Amino acid sequence: VFKNNLTFFAAAKVSSSFPPADLPEIAFAGRSNVGKSSLLNALTRRWGVVRTSDKPGLTQTINFFNLGSKLSLVDLPGYGFAYAKEEVKDSWEELVKEYVSTRVGLKRVCLLIDTKWGMKLRDYELINLMERSQTKYQIVLTKTDVVFPIDVARRAMQIEETDEYHCSFLILLISFLIEDDGKLQVWCWHPKPENG
Ligand code: GDP
């Protein structure tokens, strides 16, 4: 969890409005509703700074957040939003692709996958793109609380087994629960800690 202050500093709808890449960046990608905003809020302990929504596809811009002038966290628009018009989908995807394959200073993309649903076509498309552009990425399985632990393990294994890719394919499992008293519980663990 990052303790530095998180400040929003730019939103870009087109690549020409990306801010200068002065800081190292970590970007978060995934299908709409995968739990991306929840993760960003939890990581920065700033519940509400990054908008969460039950409406998939709300984030239509690439949002850049500055963490204590040391690191940028980048919220990429969710893809695979079933109700979006085709041209809107295409423009979001183009923007994400352009960011991922050209951004100087991008250190890693955390690709969020819903544990229950697993990897879909658009996730693989993004992985292929990152492979081609040699972008470092890792898989983060989200919402592990809504499936049985055995299914979480199966999903992690399934992703590892079908992995014919080369980047840092480290799988993290995460889950958030808001308890009755309003406290936020966050779990994050690695299925194979001995591998680092
Ligand atoms: P985004 O569209 O990827 O930014 O997804 P959000 O962060 O807005 O989350 C989508 C929905 O999933 C919201 O209703 C969240 O409360 C819920 N959600 C996010 N993370 C978790 C989790 O770890 N467990 C459960 N049960 N629900 C989650």
Strand order in the sheet with 71-75: 6-12, 62-67, 71-75, 25-30, 106-114, 137-142, 171-178, 184-189
Mutate to test the pocket of ligand 1, among 34, 38, 55 (most ligand atoms within 8 A of CB): 38
Instruction: Work out the pLDDT band at 195, boundaries 50, 70, 90.
Output: very low
H or E element in which residue 64 lies: strand 62-67
Q: What is the pTM of this model?
A: 0.84
Query: Which residues does residue 112 pair with via DSSP β-bridges, in sequence order?
Result: 30, 140
The pLDDT value given to residue 38: 83
**Ligand 1, atom 19: closest residue by C-alpha:** 35
- Torsion 187-82-96-74 (CA) sign: negative
The pLDDT value given to residue 28: 94
**Ligand 1, atom 24: closest residue by C-alpha:** 143
The pLDDT value given to residue 169: 52
Ligand 1 center–CA 22 separation, angstroms: 30
**Ligand 1, atom 25: closest residue by C-alpha:** 143
The pLDDT value given to residue 64: 92
Domains, the chain, ordered by start: 6-195 (3.40.50.300)
Phi first, then psi: give them for residue 44, nearest 5 degrees: -100, 5
Instruction: Work out the pLDDT band at 106, boundaries 50, 70, 90.
Output: very high
pLDDT at 100 over 70: yes
Is the C-beta atom of 44 inside 6 A of ligand 1?
A: no
**Ligand 1, atom 6: closest residue by C-alpha:** 35
Is the C-beta atom of 185 inside 6 A of ligand 1?
A: no
pLDDT at 178 over 60: no
Ligand 1 center–CA 53 separation, angstroms: 8
Ligand 1, atom nearest to 174 Cα: 23
SS3 per residue for 8-21: EEEEECCHHHCCCC
| High-pLDDT (> 70) share of the chain, % | 67
CA distance 133 to 32: 23
Ligand 1 center–CA 32 separation, angstroms: 10
